[in-house]
Structure 1
Amino acid sequence: MSAGFSRYLTGATRGELPTHPLTHHEILTLISPFTRRGRQADLDASNRIERRLVFKSIEHSNITASQDEACEVLTLDNAQPNQFTLTRTLTLSSGLEARLQTDGEDPAELLARIESVSPQQQFREVAGVTVALSYRLVPVCAATNGSPPVRLELTRGKAIIGNLEIVLNADSVKGYPVQIDLLPTVAGAVELPDDLLAVIGWSWSPLRKTPAGWSGKVGARSREPQRSRDLEAKLDKAVAHLAATLAQPPAFFHDGLRRARWVVTFRRGIPLLIFVGLMGVAAALTKIEIPPGSIINLLIMGAPPLLLFAAFGMRDAPPLEIPPLPGRAKAASWQLVPDLPAVVPSVAPDLTALASVTAPNVQPESTMSSPAAERDAQCPAIR
C-alpha cells in the first residue's frame, strides 16, 4: 500500500522503478557484443548498483588537424528494463571532450551506431581553434530518400580560446533559442562588452553577466537535421569572431565594428520604440473624432487584448530597456589570451582570415559518466 502510494506521489510507473544490481550473468550477456568487437569491460570503473558498465579506453591518433590524440571510453547504462544508453566519450590531450550518445533496446545495435561515426567527425578546426561537438544518435527511417539509418543531432559544442571556454548548449527545446556561455577560467578577466556576440548578426542576443561568466542566446531552426547544421555553422562563426577579437586589444573591437555595434543598439531599442509608438497612437486617438458606427471603434477596443496575446505568445520576448551606447574600452588587454602580441596592427581584425589564432592547452574538465580521477585512470597514456 505504501509503495503504491509513493509511486502515485512521485508519478513513477512500474517500468521506471530502479531494478536490482547487475548480476554476473547479465554482465556476461551485455558485454558479449562488445567483446566480439575487441572491447574489454573495466569492472573496476563499472557500477553494478547503478547498472553501469564501463569499457577500457582506446587511444586514437591524428584526431584533429593539429595531430591531437584522443582517449575513447564507452559507457553502457541500463537504468530501466530493456532500455540501454550507450555513450562514447572522446577526450583530447588538451582536456577538450566530445560525447556521442544513443538509446535503444539492443546493445549490439547501439554499438554499431556508435562505430558508424568516426571520432574525427566530432572535432573540427576553426581559425586554429579546436571545436568539440557532442551529438545524440537518433534512428530514422532509412527508406526516406536513401537517408542514413541514424541522424546526428547536436547536443553540445565547446571550444577553448586562451582562458575562455565557449559552450553551446544545444540540448534544449526545439524551436527556442539556444544558450551559449562564455566562461573565463582565470580571475581578473576584463569585463566583456554585452554586444560581443550580438554584432555577428540578428540571431544573436546581447550577453548578460552570470556568476560563472557571461551568457547569451542564438536563434536556431526548429526541425532536424537543419537545426544541428545551422547551430554548427553559427558556432563556427562565433569561434572565429572571438578568436579574432580576443587576439587584439579591447579598443579594436569598437574601432573595427563600430557600425555593427550601433546596429545592435538600435535592435535593442526596438521594443522600447514600439511601446512608445503605441502610447503615442493611443494618445493621438483621443484627439480624433470617430463616428459611433465606424469599424475603427471595434479595432480600438480589440487592439489591447490582441497586443497582450501577441506579447505573451512570443517564445523569447525581448526585454524593454534603454540600450547603452557603445563605447571604446580603455583596458590594454582582455587578460584572456596570454600570448597577446606586443605589436598589433592599426586596423580592425579580419574575421575571414583567422588561421593564425591558436588555442593553448587548458586543464581537463570532468566527465558526466565518471569522476575526474576515474577518467584520468582510464586515459593514462595521454595525461
Structure 2
Amino acid sequence: MSAPVPLTHHEILELVAPFSRRGRRVDLATSDRIARRLRFKPLEHPAQAPLAWPLQEEMELESFAADDHRVTRRLRTPEGLEAVLVADGPAVEELVERVHAVPPARQFRQGPGWTAALAHRARRLGNGVESIILTDAQARVAGLDVKMKVSSVSGVNADLELMPAPGRALALPDDLLAVLGWPWTCIARLREGWGGALRLKGDGSERSADAESKFQRTLEHLAHTLAAPPQVFHQRMHRERWRVTLRRAVPLLVSIALIAGAAMVPMIQLAQNSVWRMLVFHSPAFLLMLFFCLGEMPRLEFPPLPRLARAGSWEPVTPADPA
C-alpha cells in the first residue's frame, strides 16, 4: 500500500471550515499532517443536569481520501471515564452536524453507586433518519471497572469484563450476573478479573437499545448486590441461583439422555422407510448444526450447588488479616 499523501495547507482550510463555523479551533501542534489527522483544541463543559460533573471534550478529524472522512468526539469525566462518538462518511459538514446532534448527556448513564460512559457510532439510515449504535461501554461500580463490547454482527453475544479497582481484591460467585435471567451468562475467572457474555436480541437500533438497557440493569444489580454482604445475595436470590444451577445442568442432562437413547435404538423395531429411523440416523448432523446455531458452546459440567457464603465481605480474608 502506498503511503498517505500529507494534508496540504489548502486541504486543511477546507476541512476545518465546518468546525470553525461552530467555534472549534484546530490545534496544529497536536495534529499530524502526514497521517492526515487534525485535532482541535479541547473544550470544557460545566456540570449541567442531568450530569453532576463537568466534561472535557476532544475532537479529531481523519481524512483518508477526498470522499472518506471520520470525525471522532471524546467526552471525558473527572474520574477518567470516556464516551466516544464516531461518524464516517464522504462529507465533513454532514459528519460535524451528525456528531453535534448527539448531546453529551446522551452518552452517559448514572445511578446510585455507579456511572457509565457509552461509545456510539453515528450513522444515517436509508430513510434519512439519524441513528446511533452502541459499540462499547464502560462503568465504575462498587470497586469494579465494568466493560462491555458489542459486536456489530446480529446474533453474536456482547462481551462483559469485570476488573477490580487497583489495589482491591474481590471474591465473586460465578452466578453473580446469571441470576438476572437467560441473557446473562455465568462469569469466568480471568487473569485479573472476570469475563462473561450478554445475549442481545434484534439488530441495528433495536440491538443497540437492548444492549444499553441490559448494561444498565447489570450495573444496578452489581451496585445493589455488592453494597451488602454475600449472605444477602444468597438469601435474596435463592430461587434464581437454583434456576441457574438447573440451567447449567441442561447440557449434561441432554448428553446423558442422548447416550441412553442411542443405547435403546437397537431395541426398537423401526420400519425401513420410517421417519424416526431417518431422524436417528442423521441425529449427529442435527446436533452439530444446533451447536453452531447457539451463541456459545454448551459446557458439560456438574454445576456447584448454591450455598450460603461464610465470608462477611466480598473481599477475601488474607492470612495476614485477623480471623
Residues 3-82 of structure 1 correspond to what in structure 2 (within 5 A)? 17-63=2-48, 65=50, 67-82=52-67
Alignment of 1:328 with 2:313, yes or no, is: no
Give the Cα separation in 2 of the matches to 1:58 and 1:257.
46
Please name the residue that 2:256 is paired with: 276
Contact map agreement 1:64 1:123 (CA 8 A) in 2: no
- Counterpart of 1:132 in structure 2 is 117
CA-based RMSD of the aligned residues comes to: 2.0
Give the 3 Å change call, closer, same or farther, for CA 49–329 of structure 1 in structure 2.
farther
The answer for the alignment partner of 1:238 in structure 2 is: 218
The answer (yes or no) to whether the contact 1:90–1:119 under 8 Å persists in 2 is yes
**Greater length-normalized contact order (CA 8 Å, ≥ 6 residues apart):** 1
**Residue in 2 aligned with 1:249?**
229
The match for 1:175 is: 155
Unaligned 5+ segments in structure 2 are 317-323
After superposition, the Cα gap between the structure-2 partners of 1:83 and 1:125, relative to the gap in structure 1 and judged at 3 Å, is: same
Residues 323 and 260 of structure 1: is their aligned pair in 2 closer, same or farther, counting only changes over 3 Å?
A: same
Report the 3-state secondary structure (helix = DSSP H, G, I; strand = E; otherwise coil) of the residue aligned with 1:155: strand
Match of 1:133, SS state, is strand
**C-alpha contact 1:167 1:180 (8 A) present in aligned 2:** yes
Residue 101 (structure 1) aligns with? 86
1:121 to 85, 106, 115: 106
CA contact (8 A) 2:121 2:132 kept: yes
Shift of 1:290: 3.6
Consecutive unaligned residues of structure 1, counting only runs of 5 or more, are 1-6, 8-16, 144-148, 337-383
Counterpart secondary structure, 1:47 = coil
The verdict on how the C-alpha distance between 1:291 and 1:41 changes in structure 2, with shifts beyond 3 A counting, is: closer
Q: Give the superposition deviation at 1:120.
A: 1.1
C-alpha distance in 1 between matches for 2:137 and 2:293: 29
Does structure 2 retain, via aligned residues, the 8 Å contact 1:175–1:221? yes
Select which of 253, 259, 268 maps to 2:239: 259
State the alpha-carbon separation in 2 of the partners of residues 334 and 186 from structure 1.
Answer: 16
Of residues 60-69 and 291-300 in structure 1, the stretch that sits farther from structure 2 once superposed is 291-300
Instruction: Give the paired residue count.
Output: 316
After superposition, residues 180-219 of structure 1 pair within 5 angstroms as 180-219=160-199
Note the alpha carbon deviations across 1:199-238, whole angstroms, 9 max, x for none: 0111111101122311110111231211111111101110
Normalized against structure 1, the TM-score is what? 0.78
The Cα of 1:283 is off from its aligned counterpart by: 1.4
Change (3 A) 1:313 1:228: closer
- TM-score w.r.t. length of structure 2: 0.91
C-alpha contact (below 8 Å) 2:160/2:195 kept by paired residues: yes
Q: How does 1:306-321 map to 2 (within 5 A)?
A: 306-321=286-301
Contact 2:143 2:168 (8 Å CA) reproduced? no
Asked if 2 retains the 8 angstrom alpha-carbon contact of 1:131 and 1:158, the reply is: yes
SS of residue in 2 equivalent to 1:88: strand
**CA distance in structure 2 between the aligned counterparts of 1:249 and 1:164, rounded to whole angstroms:** 16
CA distance in 1, matches of 2:52, 2:170: 32
Contact 1:176-1:222 at 8 Å conserved across structures: no
Q: Secondary structure at the match of 1:225?
A: helix
